[in-house]
Amino acid sequence: MRSRRRAQAALALPKEFSILMKRSLAVVFTLASGMVLSAAAQSTAASAASAPAVPAKVAVIAFQAAVAQTNEFQRNYADLQKKYDPKRQQLKEMSDQIDTMTKDLQTQAATLSEAERSSRASAIDVKKKQLDRDAEDAQNDFQQEMQQMFNGVASKVYDVLSSYAQQQGYTLVLDASQQQNPVLYAVASVNITKPVLDAYNLKSGVPAPPPTPAAEAPRPAPASPRPRSSGTH
């Protein structure tokens, strides 16, 4: 029964493989944005160390949210969902078949021989294990492609972020979307998430995707804590 529930949790691909897939996406967003920002920070550390001292001007950005909300990422995410629709349907059909076999066994158990009951129960168990394996493989493949997709967009968003920060004279940009971040408070005027997002959408030239149900939209990892502000930028 436990393995059955795990398999069913991975069937609803339009909802990021249900709760399990949502948790995977949160891990992907957190790890991917962390790797992109770490690599970028290392590449600029040497030049920053040799630069003359200037007055500090700090900004904050919800980097994961900025990446996930770009038109390019939304488009790619929708394409990825479509790619996995056949697998989702295949898993659903397998699950339905197991349900039918289980119900038949329960209703016919009294009229079956012990050998027949044992044979049917064994066949159901084999199919359940196969469903578990297929669902896990699908989840892993989806997560891997999602991470690669996020990394590709995130590296380009960082380039736009870097250019924007330099143009605006910011000396430090803090990522408020990381699980362990030092941002406890920030006024709206230093939150550059939206202007960076708008700048990237303009540069990429990818149009905004058509509206989709909220349950199907990708969700970035929740920030903890998030910067508090009194308004929007």
Q: Which two tokens stand for residue 170?
A: 């910011």
Domain extent for 165: 2-216
Domain annotation covers residue 118: yes
Confidence (pLDDT) at 209: 87
Q: Which helix (H) or strand (E) holds 175?
A: strand 172-175
Domain annotation covers residue 87: yes
CA distance 63 to 34: 9
Domain annotation covers residue 45: yes
Whether the model clears a pTM of 0.95, i.e. scores above it, the answer is no
pLDDT bracket for residue 126 (50, 70, 90): very high
Confidence (pLDDT) at 177: 84
Contact, 185 vs 232, CB < 8 A? no
CA distance 209 to 69: 10
Domain annotation covers residue 225: no
Contact, 125 vs 102, CB < 8 A? no
Confidence (pLDDT) at 50: 55
Confidence (pLDDT) at 140: 95
Q: For all residues of the chain together, what is the average pLDDT?
A: 79
The number of distinct structural domains making up the chain is 1
If you average pLDDT over residues 7-31, what whole number do you get? 43
Q: What is the DSSP secondary structure assignment for residue 191, as one 8-state letter?
A: B
How far are the Cα atoms of 23, 142, 184 from residue 220, in angstroms, in the given order? 10, 16, 19
pLDDT bracket for residue 44 (50, 70, 90): low
How far are the Cα atoms of 35, 64, 174 from residue 178, in angstroms, in the given order? 11, 8, 9
CA distance 38 to 155: 11
What are the pLDDT digits (tens) for 198-230? 999 999 999 998 876 655 555 554 444 444 444
Q: How many residues does the chain have?
A: 233
pLDDT bracket for residue 17 (50, 70, 90): very low
If you average pLDDT over residues 107-129, what whole number do you get? 94
pLDDT bracket for residue 33 (50, 70, 90): low
By mean pLDDT, which of 114-123, 131-140, 151-160, 206-215 is the weakest? 206-215
By mean pLDDT, which of 24-28, 49-53, 69-73, 180-184 is the weakest? 24-28
Query: How does 90-127 read in b/e, with b if 16+ C-beta sit within 10 Å?
Result: ebeebbeebeebbeebeeeeeeeeeeeeeebeeebeeb
Residue 144 has pLDDT above 80, yes or no: yes
What are the pLDDT digits (tens) for 168-185? 999 999 998 877 777 888
Query: How does 68-81 read in b/e, with b if 16+ C-beta sit within 10 Å?
Result: bbbbbbbebbbeeb
Domain annotation covers residue 229: no
Domain annotation covers residue 228: no
Domain annotation covers residue 182: yes
Domain annotation covers residue 59: yes
- Which one, of 135, 154, 155, 132, lies nearest residue 143 by Cα? 135
Q: Which two tokens stand for residue 128?
A: 């359940």
Confidence (pLDDT) at 182: 77
Residue 40 has pLDDT above 60, yes or no: no
- State the DSSP string of 33-74: HHHHHHHHHHHHHHHHHHSPP----EEEE-HHHHHHTSHHHH
Most confident of 33-37, 79-83, 184-188, 227-231: 79-83
Which alpha helices (DSSP H) does 169-229 contain, by range? Answer: 193-204
